[in-house]
Amino acid sequence: MIGALFFTFQIYGDFSGYSDIALGTARLFGISLLRNFAFPYFSRDIAEFWRRWHISLSTWFRDYLYIPLGGSKGSTWIKIRNTFIIFLVSGFWHGANWTFIVWGLLNALYIMPSIIFKTHRNNIDIVARDRRWPTAAEVFSILLTFGLTVLAWIFFRASTVQQAFGIVKKIFSKSLLSIPQVNLSEMVIAAFCIVVFMVIEWFGRREQYAIAHLDVKLKKPWRYALYYSIALAVFWFAGGEQQFIYFQF
């Protein structure tokens, strides 16, 4: 379970991070590219998650596959068919492995209730836009959506479907309560960093980029202290050369 949780944030940091590098590099040349992530782990349902995760690919699928297939027009059956096609193609796009197909099917199944009950457009704006904290119902929705996403990421990360089901089986067994065999200090440091950056994202969720919120709320010395702390953390935890996860897709 610990591994699945950490991978959930690893792939977010990995993909969002290199997307931001591309966006920043493009801006240096006067080119504005589409934002690729919009705080996806604060989503209240899977439909909202896919509007906030990998926005460039989701938009491409919408414009060049979903809409030509009929989009949301027609019967509920047509909408269900189109949604399954989109997620199956998304699975194939990531690789010729059954794990990606299962990952795509899981997401299609997750989104089905909102398609059937026509609630997939309920959560367009960011959660608690005009409030500091979410309601209890919103917290439950966010945690449920996050939990379903973590479960799907297991199939995305696993080498085989059998391996993925083995991990899921362990999660839903008594081994969930056992102490994981990991480096405790590294786990605590990683968890602390995740919490810090998620807090920054929460308070900056109304902005296009969370860190932009700091320019308004923090005084200059504190702001620059945070910037330098982030830079030092990058160098400190960099380790050896490692390829971005999404470079394989």
pLDDT of residue 176: 63
Range of the structural domain that residue 156 is part of:
2-181
Q: Which residue has the higher pLDDT, 86 or 218?
A: 86
Given the residues 54, 94, 120, 213, the one annotated as active site: 94
Give 175-219 pLDDT, tens digit per residue.
666 666 667 777 888 888 899 889 989 998 998 888 877 766 778
Residue 172 within any structural domain of the chain: yes
Interatomic CA distance for residues 177 and 90, integer angstroms = 35
Can 94 be counted among the known catalytic residues? yes
pLDDT of residue 224: 85
Residue 218 within any structural domain of the chain: no
Confidence at 75, pLDDT banded by 50, 70, 90 = confident
Residue 217 within any structural domain of the chain: no
Q: Which residue has the higher pLDDT, 182 or 123?
A: 123
Give 35-70 pLDDT, tens digit per residue.
999 999 999 999 999 999 999 999 999 999 999 988
pLDDT of residue 108: 96
Interatomic CA distance for residues 153 and 70, integer angstroms = 29
Amino acid at 182: V
Residue 10 within any structural domain of the chain: yes
pLDDT of residue 60: 93
Residue 174 within any structural domain of the chain: yes
Interatomic CA distance for residues 155 and 127, integer angstroms = 28
Q: Note whether 12 and 40 are within 8 A (CB).
A: yes
Question: How far from 142 is each of 12, 59, 134, CA to CA, in Å?
Answer: 16, 23, 10
Tokens of 131: 């409030």
49-73 burial code (b ≥16 CB/10 A, e <16): bbbbbbbeebeebeeeebeeeeeee
Tally of domains in the chain: 1
Residue 215 within any structural domain of the chain: no
pLDDT of residue 159: 92
Residue 27 within any structural domain of the chain: yes
pLDDT of residue 189: 83
Residue 77 within any structural domain of the chain: yes
Average pLDDT, stretch 12-20? 90
